[in-house]
Structure formats: C-alpha cells, structure tokens
Structure 1
C-alpha cells in the first residue's frame, strides 16, 4: 500500500485548527485521494511491474494507460516478445512506438511496465488537502437522505466538498490520462 499523500497533521495545519481527530482526518484524506484518482483515471502512486493488455490498432503508436511511465520490462505481441530499441521504444508520456512496422490490428499487446510517482507532485498533494479540508468542514451539511432502520446516510459529493472544482480540474489536467488511452 502506498503512503498517504498528506497526513492528518498537514490537514490540521491547512484548516488552521488547534486539534484534529487524526483517525477521521485520515479517512477524509483517503477519500480525497480516491476522488482525485477517479477524476484523473490514474493510480498516481508508483507501481512496479504492472501489466496492461492493449489491443493493436494497426498504427505505429499505442498509449499506455498509466503515467508517467518509468520502465517497460516486457512487450508481447500475441505472446511473441519484442526487443527494446529494435522492436519498440517508449517514453515517460506513455507512448509505446513500434519500430519495425505497426501494431497488428486487433492483436493482444501485453506490456509489463512501471509507472507513477515515488514522490507525489505538490499540486496533487495540495488538491488532496483542499478536497479533504472541504469535506472536513462540510461533512455535517452534506446529508441528502437519512434512514432510521439499520441507519443509512447518503451524502451529496457536491455539498460535501468532495467534488473537484473547475480550478482543481484545470491544474490537475497535466496528470490526467491521455485521450488515446480512454
């Protein structure tokens, strides 16, 4: 499991509170991470030797789903291995280029690669603190439905502060998955 992007103490300082319930703060921070990962369609944290199965497009370039790419270990085309520098090349932006032709149309392309950030970029950490901070402040005002039997609460993400603002989405755009991967 990856380390949290921010600590309850950092959330306390962000909110300028004298004290904070560390357990509840950790929950709000984890929820903020989940929201951000969902919006970016990225895991963000460093992952070693992840496997992606892509489909050949008949073109020279495929886009890997997670960024940034830090290493490509194996590339198989219908179970036949390709060699780096003669069969393919890759870059940190997730572009996997076939050097000796095109990726066969509808072929299974299996890629074992590493991706993500070992140190979370400051802008992502800041948005995480902002989202968790809004959720902390608005958590009691976001209830949209409540039941009594077996107790059930429903929260509105917009009212809870967990929805990302247009500004946050704009500053996170460089960390989003590219359109060719979707």
Structure 2
C-alpha cells in the first residue's frame, strides 16, 4: 500500500493530546485504513498498471472493480489487443464499454489499468482519524458482554473503532464500489 493516510502527529492533534506513542498511533491508523478499505470494498490508494482478468459477459459493458479509474493502458480479449476509441472506451467510474460489439461470452478479458487516489481525499483522511481516534480512546474497554464460567469477553466493535459508524458509511458512499457509487 501507499504511504499512511495520516501521521501519528495528525492523530495526536485530532485527539488534542500533548504527546502520543508514535508506533502505537501508526498501528491504529493502519488498522483504521483497513477498516475503511474493507467497508468500501476498494483499495483507495493509487495502483498503477494493475492487471485484471475478467470474463466476457455477452454485454457491451464490463464493470471494473476499483475506482476511480485514471487510465486504461491495454485491453485484450483472448490475447487479441483492442484499440482505445475504436474497440472500447472507459470512464472514471470503472465502466469499460465495448464499441460496436459485445464482450464475447466467456472470453478472457485482460485489462491493465490505473485506479485509486493520489493524494487521498481529505474526507477519507478525516474518517480515518475518527476511526483511529475511537480505537485509541477505547482500545479494549468497550466490553459488550462478559461471562465467568470458562471466562469469555466480547467487545463492541463500534465503540472500539473496529467498524465504521452508520454516518461514516453514508458519507463515504461516493467512494464505495458498486452501482450505488455511480
């Protein structure tokens, strides 16, 4: 992955602390990034020259799994190169359209493309700091249930920062994968 979305000092400032354990803060930020990536179903960070293999659908459109798409450098169908603007076109929302034909059913479609954000949008950084901040403040203190016989404990992931809140999920929706994000 790319460099961290936020630095330990950003988390320190967000939490209004005088000092922070930098290695621990970096781990919490890294975990928050993973929570956000998982919630969105996206890598988010820019990836150049990613090679993707899809199967032809018999339709004119293929949906690329990552967005935004910033470049499509090659497309082949069963090892036969296609020409941009003649055989296909693409847009930033990950829609690859076959021009004048359909993607052959069950054909191997190989796409080399660049996707993601560089730099990371400020809204994603803010949500990352929120998630990391919750995890920092309540690392394991958010006990939701506890037993005594054969000791057992459960934590509320919402309060420990290990899950996106409903509000965060809603404001991050434009960055999510799928039709709702288009």
Q: What TM-score comes out, normalization by structure 1 length?
A: 0.90
In the aligned structure 1, how far is the partner of 2:20 from the partner of 2:56? Answer: 51
CA deviation after TM superposition for structure 1 residue 156, in Å:
4.6
Q: Which runs of 5+ in 2 are unaligned?
A: 147-152
In the aligned structure 1, how far is the partner of 2:24 from the partner of 2:160? Answer: 15
Partner of 1:170: 170
The answer on whether the counterparts of 2:47 and 2:114 sit within 8 Å (CA) in structure 1 is: yes
CA deviation after TM superposition for structure 1 residue 155, in Å:
5.3
Q: Which runs of 5+ in 1 are unaligned?
A: 146-152
4+ long deviations beyond 4 Å: 153-156
Cα displacement string for residues 29-82 of structure 1 (whole angstroms, at most 9, x for unaligned residues): 000000000111111011100011111111111111110001101101111111
The answer on whether the counterparts of 2:158 and 2:165 sit within 8 Å (CA) in structure 1 is: no
Partner of 2:69: 69
In the aligned structure 1, how far is the partner of 2:88 from the partner of 2:140? Answer: 53
Partner of 1:149: none
In the aligned structure 2, how far is the partner of 1:155 from the partner of 1:2? Answer: 30
The answer on whether the counterparts of 2:45 and 2:117 sit within 8 Å (CA) in structure 1 is: yes
Helix, strand or coil at the partner of 2:54: strand
Q: What TM-score comes out, normalization by structure 2 length?
A: 0.90
Q: After the TM superposition, which residues 1-182 of structure 1 pair with which residues of structure 2 at under 5 Å, given as runs?
A: 1-142=1-142, 156-179=156-179
Helix, strand or coil at the partner of 1:42: coil
In the aligned structure 1, how far is the partner of 2:87 from the partner of 2:176? Answer: 28
In the aligned structure 1, how far is the partner of 2:157 from the partner of 2:82? Answer: 46
CA RMSD of aligned residues (A): 1.8
Helix, strand or coil at the partner of 1:25: helix
Partner of 1:150: none
Partner of 1:148: none
How many aligned residue pairs are there? 174
